Structure formats: structure tokens, C-alpha cells
Amino acid sequence: MILFKCECGAPFPVPAEAAGQVGTCPVCGKPCQAPAQSDPDCVLIYKSGLPETGQVITADALTALVAQGELKAYDLILHGNEWRPLDDVFEMPEVAPVAADEGAGPEIAVRFAELPPIPGHISLKKNRLRNAWKALVLWQRRQRAVKHKPIWQRVCYYLLVLGVLAAGYYAGLGKIINYVLGRPCYVLVLNPDDCNYQAKLSGETLPLIANAQVTFQDIYVAATKKGKLSISSDQAPDHVIYNVAVPLSPGLDVVVNPNGKIEFGVYDFRGMTEKTLDAKVLKELMGDIARLRPPAYSSAVLGRLKNMAEEHFQGKKTDPLFTSQQYNFNRLSFTRSIDYSERRKNKPEEPETFRPTLIKLTRMPFQFKGSSVEYDPSQPEVITGQVSVSMRELNTYAKNKFSAFRPQAALTSADAKKTIADNKLVCGEAKGSAQLRINQNDKHLQLTFDRPIPAAVSVSGRQHQGTWSFVATLPRDKDQWTWQWTFSGSWNPPKPARGKPPPPKKLTVTINQADKLTVTEK
């Protein structure tokens, strides 16, 4: 610690690490630099009533306090990084003798340093063997005085305590604990029939509408047990149609499929978003569409999407009971209570062990990287795929840039070229991106874009803003593709100086598989 004074004369301490640094005086507020060594005119003292760190004063102040008697010989001063009494460092003035009180008896003045020491007992040599033997004898005497209970009594005592705790847990304490922990049991009951029923479980009765489902909410149990679920007619509640023993356990979800009438699919969705289509096949397909060729690669693209979806399908299930210990029910519509939802809102999600996902066997989407497919394993001939494509692939590429619309450039017939020359037709480039939709069913295979493609088409020097649409179809009973490109746009004629402005001109351009081009302006 470094002790020094400010220019105003106020002393204060700083740590030794602050040597050379500039600080602010706590008295005058002026900046002052800490020296490398303490000022010999500053001392650090401690006496009763001061802080534990002591107080910094000047040597003159120290002399004044000693003279006034405010500092005693037993008060401390920091000398050589060590707290020492004042009389060890400074010469303290002698204390004047105190006058005896009038009427007081004689006092005995004693100097403790001059008193002789009090004689003690003579130290004897310790005998460890004798001390150990004495300790053993004393321990044996204490053991004889203690009466131990038989072991069977202690075992019975512990069993009694465990029995009382178990009885209390199953009598109601377990339900309270599971409620506090937020671990209810949910039971989802499905109705595969076309008539209404009533479902009864644990004393609660709920209506079960035809081809619908119902959820028994917030069933709290102490431990795993069997609950009796009965399904009866809505018109005759006493007539039980279906009975099943449902496992009820804390935090368990159960799905009841009466008589196994509903088919479920088991899926593993891990790694699905990382799969991609073969870029070469997709490029060939877009090249066929842009060059007015039969889009034969559409079957290959759709087949690959179907195979990617089937890789995540693990089979069908028609069990009467499913539990969350076996399957993941995230895609089943459990109706949760408000209390359960509020508790789960701010609760951090815990990492779960993998369980395959259970879903009703129906047409469902599979989302991959840059593509998707809607597929039903029970109807493999009906499938719809979507692929993200760039509209630049529909344009010609020359001189390091995309320019004209490629389907127009692909026209080779004399009639089409004559129509282009007569109408001075110029198709601008297509921009943006879209989803190429490939739909296959029992009637045909069809290709379309999910949205119109914005572009500009110029006819006789007049530019029309509009959109292109595309449809390609292959009937199942034929081996001949038909397709057509259609442009729909408009052009606003110039306004006359007087009179009503003319209506906008509409332009329609079609290109089909027969290499035929039609231009209609109305």
C-alpha cells in the first residue's frame, strides 16, 4: 500500500499496483498522481472505532493525537508492512499517576512481568500402550451398558415406514406429486364408424362423434395401472360395444384404435430435409420444356421423389393400442387442456430419445431440400411432386447473358417463323423462380408451374406486360405428350387529346406441341 498527500494536504492510501497512475483527490477533487513510494510524512493507524483498513494521517496529526491522549500505547500503526503497537515505534509520554479517591482503601500496585511463574505439574512420559488398553476397557464397559435391539425389530421398523409411505403414495400423495411435476396421462379415442358413440374411462363419459375422435384429458395416477375404457351406443348407453384395458401411467399418451379398423403409417423423418434431387435429371427436364420437346424426364423426377418418400416409410400398423413409449404422436391432434398448455409454455424442451412418428395412413407431404412430394403409401399410383426451378433456364443464353424466351427460339416450322415475322414478335426473358408441379393420378401425368411467369412480349413495336403459363399432359392410356405455352398480356394505347381513352389491348400468344404459333390481339 502507498501512502501520500495531495497538493491540498489531504493524505490517503492507494494499492501498490496503482503506482504512477492518476486519480482524483477525495477531498478537493483535483487529479493527482500516485508516487512509487509512500510519503514518510504519512502514517496509517488503527484504533477502536476506525474501519478495519485503518486511517491515514500526517505525522503532525499523529503527534497532536498522542499529545491529546486520543492515541494510546496499545493502538496500532503500520510500520514496515506490519501492524505494531504505537509504543514499539514511537516514544509515548508517560502517563501521570491517577490520584486516589478520597475515602478509598489502599490499592496494591502489581507489575505482572515481575511476578514469578506458577509451578505446574511435572510432565510425565506418555505410555501409549497403557492409554490404548485403557480406551479399550472403557469402550467395553460402555457397550455392556447399551442394550441393542434385535435385528428383526429394526428390519420390521423400516418395513413399516416404507409401507406407510407406499400406502400414502398410492392413496393420493402420488397423484399430488405428479400434478406438481406436470405429468398427466392423455387418452385419445378414435371412432372409425359412421355412428355416434359414448366413451367412458375412469368415471368420465365423453361423446364420440362418427368418424371423429375424443381426448380424455389430465388423468393423474400415482403409478402405472390399467384403466377400463368402454364404448357404448349413443342411443343405448347400457349396450357396451367395445371394451379395452388402457395402460395409464404418469406422463403417458395413449391412442385407442377400436378393433384396429384405422390404418396408421410409421415414419422416420430424420435427414429428410438434407436430401436433394439429381441436378442433372432436373436440368434435362427443364431443357425439354424450354426447347418444346416431350418432358420425358418428368417420370424420372417423380420416381426419384417417390423413392425418397418411401425411404422414410417404415410400414403400416393396425394395433388397437399405441403408447408414447413406442411412437411419437406430434402429428396426431391431441386436445390438451389449458392448464397443461400453460405449464408447458415456458418449460424448456428436454432432449428426447428417438421414436418413429405415427400418423393416420393418408396422403401427406414430404419436404426435401429444394423439392417436395405428396404421397400415400396405400395409393402409390397417385403422387404429386414439386421442384424449385429458376425461370432463367427458360431463356436463351448468348454473349454471357440471358436474353430471349427459349420456347420462341425453339420454333422451327415455316408457318411459325412467318407468324413471328408478320407480327414482329419478340418474347422477353422470363425472370424469378417458381415451383414445377408434376401430378400423377389414374388418368394422366401432368406438368404445370405453380404460378404465372412474369414476362414482356412485344408485337409490332408495342410492348405487352403479362405472364406465361405452361401445361403438359400425358394420358395414361396413350404415349403421346401434349403441351401448350400461353401468354396473356395487355397494352395501353396512347390517350387522345380529346375524348374517352381507348380500352387496353389484350394480347394472347400460344405455342403448342405441333410447333404452331398463334398471336391474337384484341
Q: What is the DSSP secondary-structure string of 480-504?
A: --EEEEEEEEEE-PPPPSSSPPPPP
Reference 409, options 419, 398, 395; nearest CA is 395
- What pLDDT does residue 105 have? 58
Task: Report in angstroms the alpha-carbon separations of 14 from 32, 40, 488.
Answer: 12, 15, 85
The model's pTM: 0.62
The three grid cell numbers given for residue 132, joined into one nine-digit string? 490404548
pLDDT at 29 (0 to 100):
75
**Residue 99 confidence (pLDDT):** 62
Say if residue 499's pLDDT is above 80: no
Helix (H) or strand (E) holding 446: strand 444-449
- C-alpha–C-alpha distance, residues 505 and 30, integer Å: 85
- pLDDT of the residue at 104: 58
Cell numbers linked to 218: 389430465
CATH, domain range 148-262: 2.60.40.1120
**Predicted confidence (pLDDT) at residue 231 exceeds the cutoff of 90:** yes
The residue behind cell 400460344 is 510
pLDDT tens digits, one per residue of 399-413 = 556 567 888 888 889
pLDDT (mean) for 338-363: 83
Round to whole Å and give the CA distance between 238 and 380. Answer: 43
- Give per-residue pLDDT as tens, 240-294: 999 999 999 999 999 999 999 999 999 999 999 899 998 899 989 998 998 889 9
pLDDT the model gives residue 166: 82
- pLDDT interval class at 111 (50, 70, 90): low
pLDDT, one tens digit per residue, over 19-61 is 777 777 877 878 887 887 777 778 888 787 788 777 787 877 8
| All structural domains of the chain with their residue ranges | 2-89, 148-262, 274-342+353-521
144 Ramachandran zone, left/alpha/beta (phi>0; psi -120 to 50): alpha
Which tops the pLDDT comparison, 487 or 10? 487
Would you say 394 and 453 are in contact if contact means Cβ atoms under 8 Å apart?
A: yes
pLDDT above 70: residue 101: no
pLDDT of residue 216: 94
Question: Out of 271-285, 313-327, 389-403, 439-453, which region has the weakest mean confidence (pLDDT)?
Answer: 389-403
